[in-house]
Amino acid sequence: MKLADKVALVTGASQGLGYAIAHGFVQEGASVLLCARTADELEGAAQRVRAAAAPGAQVLAECADVSSEADVGRLAEITEKQFGKLDILVSNAGVYGPKGGIEEVSWSAWSQAISINLLGTVLCCRVFLPLLRQAARGKIVLISGGGATKPLPFLSAYAASKAAVVRFGETLAEELRESGIDVNSIAPGALNTRLLEEVLAAGPEKVGRSFYEASLRQKESGGTPPERGAELCVYLASSESDGITGKLISAVWDPWADFAEHRDDLQNTDVYTLRRIVPGERGLPWG
């Protein structure tokens, strides 16, 4: 029971990775408040999570839009009233946004994707920080993705917002370094979720031939199991990761299960962070 007596809030928890995270948390003893925008899907997810919960763990569900200040404020009120505290915040809610060239896509849809992915993440952190500060060791986990570390043509709102989420997480980690709150971002891997189905439905004309074909191969291979990302979230929510903060961690490629052996290196270097590459690091004799 790595998360016994802990209270967690997971956004975007009605399906996919968010559901897997909530499911993993309750199995480790945490009480969880699930939130998402779709009531029917959310209630079904909550019932399944409830059935998997460890003895004593509570599971609540509440519809909310993370881009709405009123909705997020209401979630904070519910959390404080029902649980009296919050130990773990997982900001998972996100969308791909419009698909296509920047001069062609709907500006309102592009802006809405930024509002959900980036502003929703920042808003949740801002609103829940007072509760997290009361925890013995607060934990914030932000969900990033491939868009944070490489260009994603024709998915510019997604790529820009996810890169911004990671830099925000690194910045917030520095703001909170003396507060006992750890902030980390994770890249969960190539998941076969509704976002993949959106890409395939849009077709190569909207998302580009290369990305479309890669998505087809991902669907055929089965992709990365959401449970792998959930396992990393359990690790980052537990005391095993205390003091590890300000990092972008790959659930698939990084040796996070062994991070305790490298805690000093993680705390005192810029490994697993966004950074600029200069010519000398690529063997170029100029610059």
Which CATH number belongs to the domain containing residue 21 in this structure?
Answer: 3.40.50.720
Residue 120 within a domain: yes
Q: Does 67 share its domain with 99?
A: yes
State the pLDDT confidence band at 129, using cuts at 50, 70 and 90: very high
Residue 2 within a domain: no
User: What pLDDT, on the 0 to 100 scale, is given for residue 194?
Assistant: 82
Residue 286 within a domain: no
Residue 287 within a domain: no
User: What pLDDT, on the 0 to 100 scale, is given for residue 253?
Assistant: 94
Whether the per-residue pLDDT at 147 is higher than 80: the answer is: no
- 55-64, 168-177, 215-224 — which is least confidently predicted? 215-224
Q: Does 56 share its domain with 132?
A: yes
Its domain, for residue 132, covers: 7-189+225-273
Whether the per-residue pLDDT at 132 is higher than 80: the answer is: yes
By the 10 Å C-beta count (0-12 exposed, 13-18 middle, 19+ buried), 81 is classed as exposed
User: What pLDDT, on the 0 to 100 scale, is given for residue 79?
Assistant: 98
Q: Does 204 share its domain with 112?
A: no
Q: How many domains does the chain have?
A: 2
Whether the per-residue pLDDT at 143 is higher than 80: the answer is: yes
Mean pLDDT in the chain?
95
State the pLDDT confidence band at 239, using cuts at 50, 70 and 90: very high
User: What pLDDT, on the 0 to 100 scale, is given for residue 193?
Assistant: 84
Which residues belong to the active site? Answer: 158
Whether the per-residue pLDDT at 33 is higher than 90: the answer is: yes
Residue 198 within a domain: yes
Residue 137 within a domain: yes
Give the separation between CA 8 and CA 16, rounded to whole angstroms. Answer: 17
